[in-house]
Amino acid sequence: MTRLLVVSNRVSPPVGEGKANQGGLAVALNSALRETNGIWFGWSGNEIDQFSGQINFSRNDGVTTATVDLEAQDVEEYYNGFANRTLWPLFHDRIDLAEFERGFAGGYERVNARFAETMLPLIAPDDLIWVHDYHLIPLGSELRQRGVGNRIGFFLHTPWPVLRLLLSLPHHRQLVEALFDYDLLGFQCNAWRDGFLEYVRDQFPDAEMQDDGTIRIGGRSVRVIACPIGIDAQDFMESAASPEAETARQEMIKSLDGKCLIIGVDRLDYSKGLEHRFHGYERLLTDQPHYQEKVSLLQIAPPSRADVASYQDIRKGLDALSGHINGEFATVHWVPLRYVNRGYDRTSLAGMFRASRVGLVTPLRDGMNLVAKEYVAAQDPDDPGVLILSKFAGAAEQLKQALLVNPYSPEELSDALAQALDMGLEERRARHAALLESVQREDVHWWLRTFLDALEDHGAEVISLDQSRGGGNHGGIPQIHQSLAAPSFA
C-alpha cells in the first residue's frame, strides 16, 4: 500500500492500552498509517504568540504524528470563526446562526495556506494525501499552487448544504472551486453527494458530469463518491459483551428500579436536536400518561465548543428545559429525565446502551451519526433495544430498519417512542438483525478501504488527463492551476 499522509484539524494518535476510549475513526486511520508508515498532520491544539511553522513530531504505537501550533488569532478566526461559526451552522441548515465575517474567512484562508506550506517538506512523491473535513476545504488547492502533483482526496464528515443555503455564503463559488483541485471527494451519503452535484450543475454549467461521478471542469477532473463512514463493529460488539460493560449494564438496570430506559448520547451541539427530543419526550408523558413512572430518559451530552456563544445558549436552553420537564412530571419516586453533561468511556456507554429499551438518535442534520451504529452494535441480539433515528442523519440511508422519524415533530417522536416501548420481541429481533448486518458489513475498515481504493485507482486517469500532475511533487505549478485565480474567501 502506498504511504498515507492524513491531514485533519486535530490529530488523534493511538493511545495504546486505552483503545477503549478511542473512536473507530482514529483506530482505523491509525492502523492504515501504521501499515504504510504514514504520517498524521494537523494542529496541536496549542496557541503561540507568533506562527513559526515548526513541526512537532511524535511517534506512538508505530504511528508518526506531525503537529503545528497556531496563533491565538488563527484559532479565533479559522477554528472558532470560519469553521465553527460560519461553515458548521451553514452545513447543518442553521443559517440563522451562521456568521459571515471577512476576518473569519481571511483567517481560514491563512491557516490553510500555513498548513500547506508547513507540510510541504513531509510529502514524498508517491504519497497518497487524505484531507479531512470542513476546516480544510482549500488545503488541496493550496498544495496544488505549491506544485504538489500527488493524488489528494478529501472527505467531508458533515452534510453538504442545499443549494439555496450555500448561495448565502459570500464567495461560495471559490470555496467549491477549491474542491475541484482534489482527485477524489467523499461524502457520507447519496443525499450530500447529490446536493454537491446539484450545486455544481447550477453554478458551473460548463462542468461535464460523467456517470461514474467524475466531474471534468477547466482541464481538471475530480471523482465524487458517497462513502459512508462506519464504526469498528467487531470491536464495539466485543466491548459491549465484556465484563466491564456488563457491570455498567447491571448498575444502570439497578438504578432504573424497573423503569424502561430510553437513552440518548450526543455531543452538546444544536445540530443534535436535543431540545426537540426533550419536547418529544414531554409530549409522550403528556399525551400518553400511562408511561409516567414507567420510563426514564437518560440524555448524556458532554459540552463541546464552549467558546462559541451559540453553544453556551443551547446549554442554557437545555438546562431550563430539563428542569421544566422534571418539575412538571417528577414524583418523589421518579425522575423522568436524567440529563448528564459529561462523557463516558466507550465500554460504559456500550453497557448503558445494552441496558436500554430505546436508543434515541434524532439530530436535525448530521453527516452520518456514529452513535446510531454503536447503539446497534451494543445490543444483545436475543433481546435488543429499538433504534429511533432521524430521517435527516446520513445514517438513515443505511439503517432503514430503525424507526425513522422527523425530529422536528414532537408528535412523531412521541408516537415512535410509544411504538418502540411496546414493540414485541420478534419484531425487535428482526429489525436489529437487519441493522446489525449493515453496521457490520459497512464498518470503518470497509470505509477506509473503499475511499483509499478509489483514491489510488483514480491516479492513472488523472495522469492521462493532465500530464503535468503526474510527474511527482514539487515539479512546478501545473498549467491548469496557473490559469485559475487562487480562491479567496476574504
Q: By the criterion CB under 6 A, which residues form the site for ligand ADQ?
A: 23, 25, 157-158, 229, 265-267, 300, 302, 343-344, 349, 366-371, 374
Residue 420 has φ and ψ, to the nearest 5°, of -65, -40
Q: Which amino acid is at 115?
A: F
How far is the C-alpha of 57 from the C-alpha of 122, rounded, in Å?
11
Angle formed at CA 339 by CA 334 and CA 343, multiple of 5 degrees: 135
Task: Give 4's Cβ-side CA count (13 Å radius).
Answer: 28
Closest CB 368 distance from ligand ADQ, rounded Å: 3
Cell numbers given for 297? 430518559
- Closest distance of CB 267 from ligand ADQ, Å: 5
Instruction: Output the smallest distance, CB 147 to ligand ADQ, in A.
Output: 31
Is 211 noted as a catalytic residue in this protein? no
The minimum distance between CB 85 and ligand ADQ, in angstroms, equals 16
- Indicate which residue of 92, 132, 135, 157 is catalytic: 157
Q: How far is CA 464 from CA 178, 225, 343, 471, in A?
A: 21, 21, 50, 11
CA 307 to chain centre: 20
Please list the alpha-helical segments (H only) found in 70-189.
Answer: 72-74, 88-91, 102-119, 139-145, 163-166, 172-179
* Strand, helix or coil for residue 209: strand
* Shortest Å, Cβ 353 to ligand ADQ: 9
Nearer to ligand ADQ, 23 or 317 (CB): 23
Catalytic residue among 74, 183, 232, 366: 366
Q: Which CB atom, from 344 or from 446, has the smaller least distance to ligand ADQ?
A: 344
- Tell me the HSE value of 267 on the side-chain side, using a 13 A CA sphere: 10
Amino acid at 35: E
Cα 374 to the center of its chain, rounded Å? 14
Give the cell for residue 25.
475513526
Q: Strands (DSSP E) along 341-429, which ranges?
A: 358-361, 386-390, 403-405
Rounded CA separation 78/291 (Å): 47
Answer yes or no: 366 catalytic.
Answer: yes
> Closest separation between CB of residue 39 and ligand ADQ, Å?
21
Catalytic residue IDs: 157, 366
